[in-house]
Chains A and B, each alone.
Chain A
Amino acid sequence: MFAYLAKRVIQAVAVMFVISLIAFAIQGNLGDPLRELVGQSVSEEVRQQLRDEMGLNDSFVTQYLRFAGNALQGDLGTSYFFKEPALDVILKKLPATLELVFGATLIIVGFSVPLGVYTAIKPDSILSRIIMGLSIIGISIPVFLTAILMIFVFSVEYGWFPSYGRGDTVHVWGYWETNFATADGWLHIILPSIALASIMLPLFVRLIRAEMMEVLQSEYVKYAKAKGINPWRIYFVHALKNTLLPVITVGGVQIGTMVAYTILTETVFQWPGMGFMFLEAVNRVDTPLIVAYLIVVGFIFVVTNTIVDLIYGLVNPTVNIARMGA
């Protein structure tokens, strides 16, 4: 267990290091912190003095170390626009994005497994053909277009759902605002969640189906049949568990894509999350906020990927982290 864990953690740290380097490079090259501070009308002499004081003339390594040290203490600079610590700005937006991702994940997991398994077990049934047909249409419609389509149909035409924002949210655990406590919050989160899930769901249905069909051809499934095991047990214990191994790997890879899609979804629905904020920060050239977003998203991404790797290790006995620890 230790060796496996250590390897994952080292890799995570290495990726985080690369991300911090990129973030640092962006910070150094994008915009001029001096101008944000004192404006244009200061003499060159004063500028140089300020640069010295701010450490902008230090060596690259010294500057990076200062940047990384600050970052580790949670100091990612101050947003030019909000005049607040960048990390605070992001953390305030984080719950909105996480709840959206949570809603979409619920939809993806809840539907992809039954649909994928069904279409694998009964590949020739009419329902399977319909599901597969819809799935290929699903992966062909970009997330933002699904979002627009849903707004047009369900908000503009029928007026069933609101078209933008989070609606009524409720504070829980200090600063966390949740959508799931009020009916209005639920109404607001449904369309964005579906939009965010819309391209991943068919992707996973197809993936689970393909893997499951391959597993169903395997010798051990044939053997389970020869033992007289109930088909449901064969499908859901023998086959599904083996199917999920590659699906978990792909799931890990898709986390980054999911984050990218949150930017699209949040833009269309004007959802006040991190992604929406990021695009605004880009338009305002709010460098500290851009850098902070990069670091926070990179961190979330690295942590979730490491967790996915650990889950994979737990599910797959040939990795067997539990035994190595015992």
Chain B
Amino acid sequence: MNGVLIGRKDVEAFLIDEASYLDDGKFSEWLDLFTEDASYWIPSNKDHYDPNTHVSIIYDDKERLGERVWRLQSGLAYGQDPQSKTRHLITNIRVLGQDDQAIIVSSNFIIVELRRSIQTIYSGRFEHKLRINGNSWKIASKKVELINNNEFIGNLSFLL
């Protein structure tokens, strides 16, 4: 893909596949999408800050993300017993920047979560940094800017 501009359509299929892993409970496959130096970040209170000086809802490196997935598959993660059913809807996809190695993609999302008979809507903006990996991509970073990240929020033990 060297030198070829990547368009919205090219990354849309990737984002939809990623979301389908989450909605279908294929968490190991989802984890495999991330690079070894990846970060998975859900900011708290506001969208933009240095996570070394401000707390985050999640600021996982690959190791902790692996632990998160391990826990969900351990049968002991009570926060997910009963398990959340989710549907991710992804839209407003924009390519914010790219070079030979990576592409930065912004998208809006609605996640509908059903747990304990309560249906909850989460919405916000994803920002993915995707690194070229053969004919596809790996996720070098995923940021989840929840519009309600400064509200008193419910149990976020499912994967966004």
The answer to whether A and B assemble together is no
Instruction: Point out residues on A near B: beta carbons under 8 Å.
Output: none
